[in-house]
Amino acid sequence: MTQADLLPWAVAIPLLGAPVLAVAGRVLPRLGCDVLATAAAAGDVACLALLWSRIHGVSTARLGGWPARVGIVLAADRVGAGLALLVAVLVLAVLVYSWRYFDEPSGERAGLFPAMVLVFEAGMVGFALTGDLFNAFVFFELMGASAYALTGYRIEDPRPLQGALTFGVVNSFAAYLSLLGIGLLYARTGQLDLAAIGRGLAGRPPDLLVVTAFALVVTAMLVKAAVAPFHFWLPDAHAVAPTPVCMLMSGAMVELGVYGAARIYWTVFSGAGGVPHDAFRHTFTAFGVATALLGAVMCWQQRHLKRLLAFSTIAHVGLFVTALAALTPDGTAGAAVYVAAHGCVKAALFGLTGVLLDRYGSVDEHGLHGRARQLRLVGVLFTVGGLALAGLPPFGTGLGKALSEEAVSSSAGAWLTAVYVAVSAVTGGAVLRVALRVFWGVGPRPAEDHDDDQTTGEGEEPEIRGPLRGLPVMMTAVPGALLVLGAVPGCVPAVAHAITDGARALADPALYRRAVLGPPAEVRLPGAPVSSAWTVEGVALGCVSAAAAILLGAGSALRPLPAGRLLRLGVRALRRLHSGHLGDYLAWLAVGVAVLCAALAAQA
Amino acid sequence: MGVLVYLAAGWMLLVALYGLVTSRNLVHAVGCLSVAQASTYVLLLAVGYRDGATAPVFSDLAPGSRPLVDPVVQALALTDVVVGATVTALLLALTIQLRKRYSTLDPQALTGLRG
Amino acid sequence: MNGPLIGVALALVVLSATVAVLTREPVRQAVVLAVLGLSLSVLFAVLQAPDVALSQLAVGTALTPLLILLTVRKVSRRSLDDSDSGDGSGDDDPDAGGRT
Amino acid sequence: MTARGRVLLFGAGAVVVAVFFGLSCGELPRFGATAHPYGDRAVAASLAHRTANVVSSVNFDVRAFDTLGEESILFATVLGATLLLRLARDEQVRPAPAEGVLPTTRLLGIVLLPLALVVGVYIVAHGQLSPGGGFQGGVVLATALHLGYVAADYRVLERVRPLAVLDVADSAAAAAFTVMGLAGLAAGGAFLKNVLPLGTFNQITSGGTVPLFNAAVGIEVASGVIVLLAHFLEQAVEMSGPPEGGGSAEEEH
């Protein structure tokens, strides 16, 4: 089994598992479906782990035996395969988590939910591994279609249906925008393979068509990554999706949007005929910082736990985009470690929120005040997750933050380090505040401020009938395992080195082009390795942000923080922007594309 | 005549976005989304057109006897038509269930998710 | 010979697309979408793309309008058999007045 | 945001996007230009594998992975519709009343139904020769079956359309597409490779695996679309929902 075989197998296993499960679900009991689904997910994890360990540069698979000029070539460097592995691990965790948690429909529809999760995994893995631009659009839509259905799964509750519909319309419209961009690129270069388009663009100086095509194609990636001002759909979709689906969306799907943007820029538009590096660096640093700050501010305001975690994901996506916008191998390496660890930690936090939803039928911070005291282990795990989000040193998120800060401060400016520390502190602090209030009942019960434009977590129906039986052990074991997995990159230097060493390949388009367009041979990664160890100031900054998070969390749990009138008005206006209205989100999408085109054209 | 076809695709997209932004009924919004998708077919096939060329099917044509239109964009448009049909069906299924739980389909009145 | 034909088909497509968007009432919009599907099929046939014309005919003219009409029937039918207070689906047409 | 504010915001964004898109359209190659490099390569590849319909060759041989993704989207949508349009706890199914039909419509239906089915099968079978293929033929087959509903009533349609069998057929065809791809990987060393003998040009058995992929897609699309329409019809014809306002947690305000 050479790498060239492993690549298609990684996509074929879930695509084969889903129909088999859909048919087997009619005859097998619930246990049989779960075993079958877990086996398929475990098989995919094994296949992708094998692939990830064997890649040293870029490994390619020519589908149908056709070269890149004619057919589709799957091309995976360590970053793409690593993200696909993260997806597979999270899918396995989600399927094990929902063994006895989920009130699946019985009868002939028993196997449908795991089958849909497997199709969702196939879409994500295919998107991470493909080397063809139109194929990326197809897998983008496959990811979307299965995510819309999974988000709207609880049809008795009105809000999931609205969240899923908004999610569907905004993401589909962005996909059609990117298809227009693909049409423009196809007309100009006559190619559809990423490396071939990149080479085709190199012939002429960059003109308006290249900038517009880049803006249109990358818009779909930014919508999927929930970068401001395209992020509005994410909190609505996350607040209402079933917990296993939230774990997948926040843990992996959003990060794939960031990876897609980086892959398309590096492979297609970073050459001579593409978008100049300075234009990309300034524009995307601005988008990244705006997303990070907006996500942090909105995260602090939420009382609905899942929306709070969703805005925390948006804040961290802003940090990933800022790190990638540095356009240096260090920045890519830092972002890769940060994404890997954040995916595990955020999925664990969503899993723990699912426990609260299962026990108390509510995910509202005020409503749950002090009610979860006896869930001692869940409280400890939740607090550890909050500290990990804040970037506490031993955790992979701490290492990723440190590496990103170092890369960003050397290329863009030291003030960005302050943004990293502040955003990590605020998001970590919000999670710690929730942990202290819900699990330890710290501080007074928050006053009921009846401003009606806020989504409370009340009245959520528990996702399983009959919560009287004991808590399924998997619902705490899986989040615990994911937190351990989130700590592995920080504690085990070999893993961190493997991630950062592979990340250099993303920032090396010539290597990718040689691997895809040249004769099919294994291409090794030249050049000096990137630093992946803890540095003194990295550890120091991690401790500072963790301490600030603890101060913020504990302080605000005891008594609400004083806020100036102007700040309160500003935040209220910002929250009214998140109106849940489909027309608003699409108007902001139009404005976002316009700003992106104008900013890139001005500097091109 | 040339650039007009491309501009028509752009016009269809923006008028569909206008319909989506000002929609007062989610079924109408899903219809506008399928109009937005139609713009991608028009652009793709316009890019592949060639003057005086015939369809790329050799069932009644000797290969190489006449210039051909670009078959690749037709394959892309075909895949796009299928994607459009399926996404429309999924969003309409969500709309049916949404209508059962909310008494209206006007985005203005759907106030469940805010803040 | 093909130039003016493409022009006519394109004008028909753009016109029916604009009308489809500006028709707020879903049932009428479904009919206009069927006309749009038909005009798209004609345009694809003129652009020498028979495969896409056939699939657009099958999907854009038959399947999508059928799904929309079934959805509208389910939507309006729900308020018919529930609000037996007799004002029919009038209350369900929120933009009966405000035609933008 | 108010409706006016929303339209103004959209207007600002749309004008800028329109300007950029319009200018870049000006830089595109002339409409009807003769340079189509990818097209020429695709025609050469199609002739190399003796497939008469180049579009089907691109769909099922050169870029078959796109079609695999597209069919998985259709499969995901059928699963999604089955999940989303399932019977909610507070709903019940009323069997559809029998409806009378004009004898002329019934006669037309009886004559047209087999004819349409044969046309659908023809389109699927000749996918690699003449315009058409798995998808187009599948949709023709699916809509043709619903002539039974037009010409008779819903009960006849339910007898003509065994949902359980169609569900299994849809899943089986989706799995078959992937299995054929893996067979290509095993036999020819590349996923979705055209490993079968290519036959003689312009014959029904030409094109190696293209007709097989066509058939798999035809079955999947036909059964998938029928199942999809069945769920929509079941919602519209049979199900009656919860009493107004009862099931929905949304209070009137």
Verify whether the Cβ–Cβ distance C82 to D236 is below 8 Å: no
Are the Cβ atoms of B113 and A455 closer than 8 angstroms?
Answer: yes
CA distance A363 to A380: 18
**In chain D, which residues have their Cβ closer than 8 Å to the Cβ of B87?**
77
Is A317 contained in some domain?
Answer: yes
Q: Which residue of D has its CA nearest to A8?
A: D191
Q: How many whole angstroms separate alpha carbon A306 and alpha carbon A212?
A: 36
* Structural contact between residues A294 and A222, judged by C-beta atoms closer than 8 angstroms: no
Within-domain flag for A17: no
Classify residue C39: in a domain, yes or no.
yes
pLDDT of res. A567: 84
What is the predicted pLDDT for the residue at A126?
96
By C-alpha distance, which of A41, A13, A42, A33 is closest to A111? A33
Residue A577: inside a domain? yes
Is residue C47 in some structural domain? yes
Q: How many CB pairs under 8 A join A and D?
A: 228
Please list the alpha-helical segments (H only) found in A368-414: 376-389, 396-411
pLDDT block averages, 10 residues each, chain A of length 604: 86 95 87 91 95 88 90 92 94 89 62 92 96 96 95 85 93 96 94 93 89 96 94 90 91 94 93 90 95 93 90 95 92 92 94 88 83 88 94 90 90 86 94 91 72 63 58 86 92 87 83 86 70 85 91 85 82 85 93 95 88
Question: What total of structural domains would you count in chain C?
Answer: 1
- Cα separation, D54 vs D36, in Å, equals 14
Look up the domain containing C22 and give its range.
3-80
Confirm whether C85 is domain-assigned: no
All residues at 6 or more sequence positions from C15 whose CB lies less than 8 Å from its CB, including other chains: none
Which two three-digit tokens encode residue A353?
Answer: 């929120």
Distance CA A473, CA B81 (A): 46
The 3-class secondary structure across A112-133, one letter per residue, is: HHHHHHHHHHHHHHHHHHECEH
Q: Residue C73 contacts by C-beta under 8 Å, 6 or more apart in sequence?
A: D236
Residue B57 lies in a domain: no
Query: Do the domain assignments include residue C58?
Result: yes
Minimal C-alpha gap between D77 and chain A (Å): 7
Count: domains in chain B: 1
CB proximity D18 to B under 8 Å: yes
| CA D175 centroid distance within chain | 16
**pTM for the structure as a whole:** 0.93
Distance from CA of C4 to the nearest CA of D (A): 13
Tell whether B104 is within 8 A of chain C (Cβ): yes
pLDDT for C98: 31
Contact C43, B42 (CB under 8 A): yes
Q: What secondary structure does DSSP assign to A34-101, as a single string?
A: HHHHHHHHHHHHHHHHHHHHH-SEEEEEEGGG--TTTS-EEEEEHHHHHHHHHHHHHHHHHHHHTTTT
The Cα C15–Cα A195 span in angstroms is 39
Q: Which domain holds residue A598?
A: 149-603
Q: Write out chain C's pLDDT in tens, 100 residues.
A: 688 999 999 999 999 999 999 999 999 999 999 999 999 999 999 999 999 999 999 999 989 999 999 999 888 865 544 443 333 333 333 333 332 3
Show which subunits contact A, needing at least 3 CB pairs below 8 angstroms. Answer: B, D
Task: Assess if residue A387 is contained within a domain.
Answer: yes
Residue B46 to chain D, least CA–CA distance (Å): 7
- Tell me phi and psi for residue A524, to 5 degrees: -90, 155
Q: Which residues of D touch B21 (CB under 8 A)?
A: 6-7, 10
On chain B, the residues whose CB falls within 8 A of the CB of C40 are 38, 41-42
Identify the pLDDT of residue A448. 65
Quick check: B32 contacting A, CB < 8 Å?
no
In terms of residue numbers, what domain contains B104?
Answer: 4-51+67-109
A336 is a domain residue: yes
Domain membership flag for residue A143:
no
Question: Do D25 and B102 count as a contact with CB atoms less than 8 A apart?
Answer: no
Q: Is B11 helix (H, G, I), strand (E, B) or coil?
A: helix
Residue of B30, B86, B110 lying closest to A145 (CB–CB): B86
Instruction: With CB atoms and an 8 Å threshold, state whether D53 touches C51.
Output: yes
Confidence at residue D252, expressed as pLDDT on a 0 to 100 scale: 30
For B40, the closest chain A residue by CA position comes to A180
Please name the residues between 28 and 87 in chain B that touch chain C, using a CB distance below 8 Å: 28, 30-32, 34-35, 38-39, 41-42, 45-46, 48-49, 51-57, 69, 74, 77-78, 81-82, 84-85
CA distances from D168 to A27, B86, D74, D124, D173 (A): 12, 19, 15, 20, 8
Whether residues A591 and D69 touch (CB distance < 8 A) is answered with no
Higher pLDDT, D192 or A526: D192
Please give the pLDDT value at position A534. Answer: 85
ipTM of this predicted structure: 0.92
- The answer as to whether C60 is a domain residue is yes
A107 lies in some domain: no
Local structure of residue A252 (DSSP, 8 states): I
Chain C residues 36-75 within an 8 A CB cutoff of chain B: 36, 40, 43-44, 47-52, 55-56, 59-60, 63-64, 67-68, 71-72, 74-75
**Which residue shows structure tokens 């933008």?**
C100
DSSP at A12: H
Tell whether B101 is covered by a domain: yes
The alpha carbon of residue A315 and the mean position of all alpha carbons in its chain are separated, in whole angstroms, by: 11
Chain D residues close to B37, C-beta within 8 Å:
none
Count of beta carbons in the 10 Å neighbourhood of residue A2: 11
Contact exists between C and A (3 or more beta carbon pairs < 8 Å): no
Please list every residue in chain B whose beta carbon sits closer than 8 Å to the beta carbon of residue D39.
Answer: 48, 56, 68-73
Quick check: helix, strand or coil at residue D76?
A: helix
B114, part of any domain: no
For residue A565, the tally of other CB atoms under 10 A from its CB is: 7
Taking residue A492's Cβ as centre, other Cβ atoms within 10 Å add up to 12
